[in-house]
């Protein structure tokens, strides 16, 4: 699981950075709009997961990296989702001139759907911790 | 009503202020990291309609051997103040370390009541403690409480009332052994003979042995003072100090041996998270990602709210201008107050979103980790992670940040932190970044704001390094910091924290910013008959006088006027820009700024606002904390020079790049 998530986040981050430097007009759902900092953030999340993979192999703390990777990944996904919602309110509530042609896909980045696996794993892992705590008390 | 004086004391981050708030109904700031309380706070509660209990909350201390200014506050209060009961708040998950202070308080002859806080966390870990036996062994009442859940408060108040009626005598818990006890008793005899001391003779003799006070300072009788000196010269004091510490911990272990059992070391989520966020290689990148997330949210998510407020004020300004009969009054209200103050209030959503995010990080306990991971970097410049906490506080306002340096023991490290904290960008400067980043770099605005904040940290670190290598040479002290467990922040406390910090911005809008806007409007309108905001106005004259100095940075006269008024408060910069740039006919502020400022000049301006002379309130607190006109003047001049140099470099390089 850590390996898959690590590779996906790494790839998404790489694409975003590539789009920034190449200036290609790729759709946002591939390039995250060429956002350099978002790309770097995704790579950091990927690095957390991949470090976890190495730790799992040597039987050390791998789970901790999986949990924190999911937490940071989920935070980034939420930031991008809130950015989309903010632009949606500019377009549909405030009717701002700058957002006349705006459609949700303009802001849809691949980091957003990543919140689903991250949230699911986090929910599962945190439940495990609660169970351990209950059985210990 | 009977009055009872109570002091709340305890180790850092054990929940003293939470208990203070729970007992008194106050709303003092609490945080999940050590060193939140830096001065004493007082409050009152009534119990059984019979007792008025006056409570003083003190900064956290590990022992009565004070080293830093905030510890000295607690030490002096406990030693000299007229209080009936000392309530020691104890972290139930860390009894041994907390009880070291208990042994000292009992030596002092104070009536002590132990408030065993965080008992819910200890229960969850599976700890067991026989509280009655603990009370019996110590000869002092112990009560289980949970400050956050307001449990056990009545029991605690009952124990305080009972303790206040007991006789005040030293009931030393620890026999300090053959090596120390005879010396203590010898000095105690001398002190009793002298008779003029205020605290217990045993505690005073221990302070003399540990070198916390000199015989001449305590005893005015020269003969007795010399006798005490002679007794102290006979022994190796370092050796004695170590023996005292050992004996205290041995006693604590023997007291707890039969009555306390720590829960088995089950996996803790806090420990698991810490393995990653304090990781040598991943710690700083994770910190940077989180900070970037905060600034992205601060800019992007706030934008629709900003636009809504902006539209409201634009409508209001137009309405006033069209409907006011008196031309000058319409101009004062429309061009001065609404354009100036209104333009500052547009940024309220940014400020509140940033503070809600920072409050979340603080309440979860992550900020303590941030200080821990930054310690590696800080130690390289002769400071330590403790210096990073005031810097993080500076993200809100530099005034409390500078006051928080009282937790730093070493005077030189403290002075360096005081002088460099203003480079951490406070919320007052955020509107300038949001304004220019939004207009000049709309696609990467959040990232630009984030980079400016990083620049502030970089300037602080480089300045600290320069001061350490030149004017304030010295060695850094070792950094010991306890990492509190992560907690899920409550929505209520997060909103309260956000409001505490954010409301200051709104309050300023009605005071100093309003004053600044009216002053700038007056300068832009006078002498009488001149066109508003014209170059012939007083504002224009002032701007043109100073403009040649700032021409190498690409700033025009209106920017210069705004920067001059920024000395009052940094928020005034944006208000002044609203008044001066908004005055041009036919175009809005955004268009005027877009036409008047290049990308490189905008970046230079943002960095200049970040670094240049701290506002008046910050200068006041620098003077108060350093008590030095020389260092306050140094802060002004050094900041101006660095700001000018950085802005010049950015403007010059930017002109080549763009």
% of chain B beyond a pLDDT of 70: 93
Kindly report the CATH class assigned to B2-164: alpha beta
Say if CB B401 and CB B418 are below 8 A apart.
no
Q: Is the dihedral of CA B492, B498, B500, B504 positive or negative?
A: negative
Say if CB B307 and CB A98 are below 8 A apart.
no
Long-range contacts of B585-592 (CB under 8 A, 24+ apart): B589/B343, B590/B439
**What's the rounded mean pLDDT across residues B48-62?**
88
Interchain proximity A126–B304, CB inside 8 Å: no
CB atoms within 10 A of CB B174: 20
CB atoms within 10 A of CB A78: 17
What residues contact residue B417 under an 8 Å CB cut-off, 6+ apart? Answer: B383, B387, B390, B391, B405, B408, B464
| H/E run at residue B471 | none
For residue A93, list chain B residues with Cβ-Cβ distance below 8 A. Answer: 304
Q: What is the DSSP string of A66-119?
A: HHHHHHHHHHHHHHHHHHHHHHHHHHHTS--GGGTT--GGGT--TTTTTHHHHH
A interface mutation test: which of B128, B286, B439 has the most A CBs within 10 A?
A: B286
Q: Any idea which of B22-36, B346-360, B494-508, B619-633 has the lowest mean pLDDT?
A: B22-36
**Residue B127 CB-density burial (10 A; 0-12 exposed, 13-18 middle, 19+ buried):** middle
Q: What is the DSSP string of B345-412?
A: HTTHHHHHHHHHHHHHHHHHTHHHHHHHHHHHHHHHTT--HHHHHHHHHTTT-HHHHHHGGGG--SHH
Alpha-carbon distance A67 to nearest alpha carbon in chain B (angstroms):
8
Say if CB B406 and CB B37 are below 8 A apart.
no
Bond preceding residue B148 cis, omega within 30 of 0: no
Kindly identify which residue of chain A lies nearest to residue B311, measuring between CA atoms: A94
For residue B277, list chain A residues with Cβ-Cβ distance below 8 A. Answer: 68
Interchain proximity B126–A36, CB inside 8 Å: no
For residue B300, list chain A residues with Cβ-Cβ distance below 8 A. Answer: 79, 82-83, 86-87
Asked if B303 reaches chain A (Cβ–Cβ under 8 Å), the answer is yes
Query: Does B630 score more than 80 pLDDT?
Result: yes
* pLDDT for res A134: 47
For residue B262, list chain A residues with Cβ-Cβ distance below 8 A. Answer: none
Interchain proximity B290–A75, CB inside 8 Å: yes
Strand partners, B6: B55, B85
Asked if B250 reaches chain A (Cβ–Cβ under 8 Å), the answer is no
For residue A48, list chain B residues with Cβ-Cβ distance below 8 A. Answer: 276, 282, 286
Q: Any idea which of B251-255, B292-296, B498-502 has the lowest mean pLDDT?
A: B498-502
pLDDT tens digits along B298-334: 888 888 888 888 888 878 877 887 787 777 787 778 7
The ipTM is: 0.93
Q: Parallel, antiparallel, or unpaired for β B41-47 and B51-57?
A: antiparallel
- The rounded distance, in Å, linking the Cα atoms of B277 and B273 is 6
Q: Parallel, antiparallel, or unpaired for β B128-129 and B41-47?
A: unpaired
Query: Does A137 score more than 50 pLDDT?
Result: no
Closest Cβ opposite residue B269 in set A33, A41, A129: A129
Query: Does B494 score more than 70 pLDDT?
Result: yes
Interchain proximity A82–B266, CB inside 8 Å: no
Interchain proximity A83–B447, CB inside 8 Å: no
B340 SS3 class: helix
Interchain proximity B304–A44, CB inside 8 Å: no
**What's the rounded mean pLDDT across residues B39-51?**
85
A interface mutation test: which of B296, B366, B488 has the most A CBs within 10 A?
A: B296
Q: Can you tell me which residue has the tokens 């030095």?
A: B628
Interchain proximity B290–A72, CB inside 8 Å: yes
Q: Can you tell me which residue has the tokens 């970044």?
A: B433
Asked if B293 reaches chain A (Cβ–Cβ under 8 Å), the answer is yes
B8 SS3 class: strand
* pLDDT for res B520: 82
Alpha-carbon distance B257 to nearest alpha carbon in chain A (angstroms):
21
- When pLDDT is cut at 50, 70 and 90, the band that residue B586 belongs to is low
Alpha-carbon distance B503 to nearest alpha carbon in chain A (angstroms):
23
Q: Report how far Cα B206 is from the mean position of its chain's Cα atoms.
A: 33
What residues contact residue B497 under an 8 Å CB cut-off, 6+ apart? Answer: B29, B31, B355, B359, B362, B363
Q: What are phi and psi of B139, to 5 degrees?
A: 70, 30
Closest Cβ opposite residue A72 in set B275, B289, B446: B289
- When pLDDT is cut at 50, 70 and 90, the band that residue A130 belongs to is low
Domain regions of chain A by residue span: 2-123
What residues contact residue B113 under an 8 Å CB cut-off, 6+ apart? Answer: B85, B86, B87, B88, B140, B141, B142, B143, B156, B159, B160, B163
For residue A83, list chain B residues with Cβ-Cβ distance below 8 A. Answer: 296, 300-301
Q: Any idea which of B507-521, B609-623, B625-639 has the lowest mean pLDDT?
A: B507-521
Kindly identify which residue of chain B lies nearest to residue A130, measuring between CA atoms: B269
For residue B450, list chain A residues with Cβ-Cβ distance below 8 A. Answer: 37
- The rounded distance, in Å, linking the Cα atoms of B293 and B166 is 56
Interchain proximity B444–A36, CB inside 8 Å: yes
Query: Does B393 score more than 80 pLDDT?
Result: no
Q: Parallel, antiparallel, or unpaired for β B2-10 and B85-91?
A: parallel
Closest Cβ opposite residue A64 in set B272, B296, B446: B272
* pLDDT for res A48: 96
Bigger pLDDT: B427 or B274? B274
* pLDDT for res B38: 62
- When pLDDT is cut at 50, 70 and 90, the band that residue B53 belongs to is very high
Please give the structure tokens belonging to residue B547. Answer: 């403009």
Bigger pLDDT: B191 or B90? B90
Cα torsion B416, B420, B421, B424 to 10°: value is -150
Most confident region among B224-238, B449-463, B520-534 by mean pLDDT: B449-463
**What's the rounded mean pLDDT across residues B490-512?**
79
Kindly identify which residue of chain A lies nearest to residue B264, measuring between CA atoms: A136
Closest Cβ opposite residue A89 in set B124, B272, B304: B304
Q: Any idea which of B136-145, B332-341, B511-520, B576-585 has the lowest mean pLDDT?
A: B576-585
Q: Can you tell me which residue has the tokens 């290609």?
A: A24
B52 SS3 class: strand
For residue B311, list chain A residues with Cβ-Cβ distance below 8 A. Answer: 94
- The rounded distance, in Å, linking the Cα atoms of B183 and A132 is 52
| H/E run at residue B574 | helix B571-581
Q: Report how far Cα A40 is from the mean position of its chain's Cα atoms.
A: 11
Under 8 Å CB pairs connecting chains A and B tally to 102
For residue B307, list chain A residues with Cβ-Cβ distance below 8 A. Answer: 90, 94, 96
Q: What is the DSSP string of B222-258?
A: HHHHHHHHHHHHTS-HHHHHHHHHHHHHHHHHHHHHT
Interchain proximity B286–A48, CB inside 8 Å: yes
The tally of CA atoms less than 13 A away on the side-chain side of residue B339 is 26
| H/E run at residue B420 | helix B411-420
Q: Is the dihedral of CA A11, A13, A15, A21 positive or negative?
A: negative
Asked if B552 reaches chain A (Cβ–Cβ under 8 Å), the answer is no
- The rounded distance, in Å, linking the Cα atoms of B519 and B74 is 44
For residue A136, list chain B residues with Cβ-Cβ distance below 8 A. Answer: 125-126, 263-264, 266
Alpha-carbon distance A70 to nearest alpha carbon in chain B (angstroms):
11
Please give the structure tokens belonging to residue B159. Answer: 């124990």
pLDDT tens digits along B257-266: 989 988 765 5
Interchain proximity A47–B285, CB inside 8 Å: yes
What residues contact residue B40 under an 8 Å CB cut-off, 6+ apart? Answer: B56, B57, B58, B59, B73, B74, B77
pLDDT tens digits along B193-213: 877 777 788 888 888 888 878
Domain regions of chain B by residue span: 2-164, 177-261
For residue B269, list chain A residues with Cβ-Cβ distance below 8 A. Answer: 67, 126, 129
Query: Does B82 score more than 90 pLDDT?
Result: no
């Amino acid at each position: 699981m850590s390996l898959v998530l690590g590779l996906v986040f790494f790839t998404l981050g790489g694409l975003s950075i590539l789009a920034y430097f190449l200036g290609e007009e790729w759709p946002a759902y591939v390039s995250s709009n060429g956002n350099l900092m978002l790309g770097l953030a995704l790579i950091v999340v990927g690095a957390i997961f991949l470090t976890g993979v190495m730790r799992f192999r040597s039987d050390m703390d791998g789970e901790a990296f999986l949990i924190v990777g999911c937490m940071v990944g989920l935070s980034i996904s939420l930031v991008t989702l809130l950015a989309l919602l903010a632009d949606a309110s500019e377009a549909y509530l405030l009717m701002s001139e700058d957002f006349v042609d705006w459609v949700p896909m303009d802001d849809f980045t691949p980091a957003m759907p990543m919140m689903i696996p991250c949230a699911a794993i986090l929910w599962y892992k945190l439940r495990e911790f609660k169970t351990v705590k209950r059985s210990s008390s | 009503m009977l009055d009872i004086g109570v002091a709340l004391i305890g180790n850092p981050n054990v929940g003293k202020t939470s208990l203070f708030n729970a007992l008194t109904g106050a709303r003092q700031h609490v945080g999940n990291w050590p060193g939140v309380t830096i001065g004493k706070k007082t409050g009152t509660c009534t119990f059984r309609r019979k007792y008025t209990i006056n409570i003083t909350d003190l900064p956290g201390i590990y022992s009565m051997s004070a080293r830093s200014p905030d510890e000295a506050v607690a030490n002096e209060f406990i030693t000299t103040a007229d209080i009936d009961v000392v309530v020691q708040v104890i972290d139930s998950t860390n009894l041994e370390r907390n009880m070291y202070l208990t042994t000292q308080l009992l030596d002092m002859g104070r009536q002590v009541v132990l408030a065993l806080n965080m008992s819910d966390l200890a229960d969850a870990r599976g700890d067991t403690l026989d509280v009655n036996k603990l009370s019996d062994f110590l000869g002092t009442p112990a009560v289980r409480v949970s400050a956050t859940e307001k449990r056990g408060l009545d029991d605690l108040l009952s124990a305080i009332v009972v303790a206040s009626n007991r006789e005040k005598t030293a009931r030393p818990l620890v026999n300090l052994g053959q090596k120390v006890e005879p010396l203590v008793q010898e000095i105690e005899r001398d002190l009793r003979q002298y008779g003029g001391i205020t605290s217990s003779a045993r505690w005073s003799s221990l302070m003399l042995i540990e070198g916390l006070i000199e015989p001449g300072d305590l005893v005015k009788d020269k003969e007795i003072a010399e006798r005490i000196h002679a007794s102290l010269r006979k022994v190796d004091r370092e050796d004695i100090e170590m023996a005292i510490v050992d004996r205290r911990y041995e006693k604590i272990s023997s007291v707890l041996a039969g009555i306390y059992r720590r829960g088995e070391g089950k996996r803790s989520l806090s420990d698991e998270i810490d393995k990653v966020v304090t990781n040598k290689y991943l710690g700083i990148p994770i910190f940077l990602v989180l900070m970037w997330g905060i600034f992205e949210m601060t800019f992007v998510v706030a934008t629709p709210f900003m636009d809504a407020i902006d539209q409201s004020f634009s409508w209001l300004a137009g309405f006033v201008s069209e409907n006011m009969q008196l031309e000058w009054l319409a101009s004062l209200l429309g061009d001065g107050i609404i354009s100036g103050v209104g333009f500052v209030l547009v940024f309220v959503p940014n400020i509140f979103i940033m503070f809600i995010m920072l409050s979340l990080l603080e309440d979860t306990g992550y900020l303590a980790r941030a200080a821990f991971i930054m310690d590696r970097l800080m130690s390289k410049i002769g400071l330590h992670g403790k210096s990073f906490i005031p810097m993080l506080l500076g993200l809100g306002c530099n005034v409390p940040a500078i006051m928080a340096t009282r937790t730093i023991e070493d005077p030189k490290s403290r002075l360096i932190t005081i002088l460099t904290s203003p480079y951490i960008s406070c919320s007052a400067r955020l509107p300038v970044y949001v304004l220019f980043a939004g207009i000049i770099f709309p696609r990467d605005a959040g990232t630009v704001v984030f980079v400016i904040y990083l620049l502030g940290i970089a300037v602080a670190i480089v300045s600290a390094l320069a001061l350490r290598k030149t004017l304030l040479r010295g060695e850094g002290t070792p950094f010991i910091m306890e990492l509190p467990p992560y907690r899920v922040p409550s929505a209520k406390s997060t909103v309260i924290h956000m409001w505490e910090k954010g409301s200051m911005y709104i309050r300023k809008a009605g005071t100093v910013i309003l004053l600044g806007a009216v002053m700038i409007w007056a300068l832009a309108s006078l002498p009488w008959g001149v066109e508003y905001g014209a170059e012939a106005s007083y504002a224009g004259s002032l701007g043109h006088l100073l403009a040649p100095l700032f021409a190498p940075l690409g700033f025009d006269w209106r920017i210069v006027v705004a920067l001059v008024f920024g000395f009052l408060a940094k928020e005034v910069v944006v208000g002044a820009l609203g008044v001066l740039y908004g005055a041009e006919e036919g175009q809005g502020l955004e268009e005027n700024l877009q036409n008047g400022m290049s990308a490189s000049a905008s970046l230079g301006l943002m960095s200049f606002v970040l670094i240049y002379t701290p506002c008046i309130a910050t200068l006041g607190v620098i003077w108060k904390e350093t008590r030095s006109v020389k260092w306050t003047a140094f802060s002004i001049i050094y900041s101006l020079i660095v700001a000018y140099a950085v802005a010049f470099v950015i403007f010059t390089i930017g002109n080549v790049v763009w």
